Amino acid sequence: MGQTPAVPNHIAIVMDGNGRWATRRFLPRVAGHKQGVESLRRCVKACVDRGVGVLTVFAFSSENWNRPVEEVSGLMDLMVGALTREVPRLSKDGVRLHFVGERGGLSEKISAGLVQAEAATAHNTHLIFNVCFNYGGRWDIARAAAALAERGEPITEVSLDREMALSHVSDPDLFIRTGGEQRLSNFLLWQSAYAELFFSDKLWPEFDEAALDEAIGAFQRRERRFGKTSAQLSSGAERARQPA
């Protein structure tokens, strides 16, 4: 008996494995990224349906510029296409978009598209959807520290946290990486301090609703102790110690 376990409020995903998905089918890598967009559309819908509050995905890392030129330009073209095609659909589902990452270095077309998509969905309330594009965890921390230093403000955990790119949402509860690798690859280094990690062998284009439910189920069976003991959690002592 007991309460129904809660769905994680904030899910973060490293969508990895598009290239391998394509290569296994003797297709160009960009075909895998294209299929990855389909998978993402399905995942966003599933998160809305399950009452997830925030979804944050890693779409393009600061380091991905080092890939072959044709792959990078294929990814940029996909972004342009997604901005035109997907935004109306997302907005209809009540999704609010935020783009997180370094905007300098992106084409004029993409930068303008990001601003427009954020403005067009700003009134939506069902799901906050953060797309990390040209993002790196170290970039985020260094940039936040530099902004504080420039204003002559003290650098503390609270002030840094307020300055970081995801300050509009709470920290991720569940961090999923698909594609079988078990590493963070510079994603949400600061914010994932207490995220529950889940690694799936499924390649991102194959990550469906059932795979998402498996990750959520694993999360619900974890005990999040935040430095306390298991006994403290079950006695409810932790609640007594929480500041009002």
The pairing of beta strand 10-14 with beta strand 54-61: parallel
18 is catalytic: no
Q: Which of residues 160-179 bind ligand IPE (CB under 6 A)?
A: 179
Residue selected from 35, 56, 61, 134 as contacting ligand IPE according to rule CB under 6 A: 61
- Give backbone dihedrals phi and psi of 100, rounded to 5 degrees, phi first: -120, 125
Contact indicator for 131, 59 with CB cutoff of 8 Å: yes
Instruction: Return the SS3 of 242.
Output: coil
Considering the complex, state which of residue 139 and residue 148 has its C-beta at the smaller distance from ligand IPE: 139
Binding part of the chain for ligand IPE, among 55-63, 77-85, 193-201, 213-221 by CB under 6 A, reads 55-63
64 is catalytic: yes
| Tokens 């349906």, residue located | 49
Considering the complex, state which of residue 8 and residue 32 has its C-beta at the smaller distance from ligand IPE: 32
Residue selected from 8, 10, 11, 14 as contacting ligand IPE according to rule CB under 6 A: 14
What number of residues does the chain have? 244
Which pair of tokens denotes residue 125?
Answer: 């309330």
- Integer Cα distance of 38 and 92 in angstroms: 17
Q: Examine residue 15 and tell whether it contacts ligand IPE (CB under 6 A).
A: yes
The catalytically annotated residue of 9, 64, 124, 186 is 64
- Integer Cα distance of 100 and 166 in angstroms: 8
- Integer Cα distance of 22 and 26 in angstroms: 6
> Cβ of residue 114: shortest distance to ligand IPE, in angstroms?
16
DSSP 75-117: HHHHHHHHHHHHHHHHHHTTEEEEEES--TTS-HHHHHHHHHH
Q: Examine residue 59 and tell whether it contacts ligand IPE (CB under 6 A).
A: yes
Residue selected from 8, 19, 74, 101 as contacting ligand IPE according to rule CB under 6 A: 19
Contacts with ligand IPE by CB under 6 A: the residue count is: 17
> Cβ of residue 190: shortest distance to ligand IPE, in angstroms?
17
> Cβ of residue 162: shortest distance to ligand IPE, in angstroms?
26
Q: Examine residue 181 and tell whether it contacts ligand IPE (CB under 6 A).
A: yes
Residue selected from 91, 111, 159, 185 as contacting ligand IPE according to rule CB under 6 A: 185
Comparing every residue's Cβ against Mg ion, the nearest one is 16
Which pair of tokens denotes residue 7?
Answer: 């769905």
User: Angle formed by the axes of helices 69-92 and 108-121, to 10°?
Assistant: 20
CA dihedral 189→195→200→205, nearest 10 degrees, is -70
Q: Examine residue 187 and tell whether it contacts Mg ion (CB under 5 A).
A: no
Q: Which of residues 4-63 bind Mg ion (CB under 5 A)?
A: 16
Q: Which residues bind Mg ion (CB under 5 A)?
A: 16
Q: Which residues bind ligand IPE (CB under 6 A)?
A: 14-20, 58-61, 64, 75, 179, 181, 183, 185
Residues with a known catalytic role: 16, 64
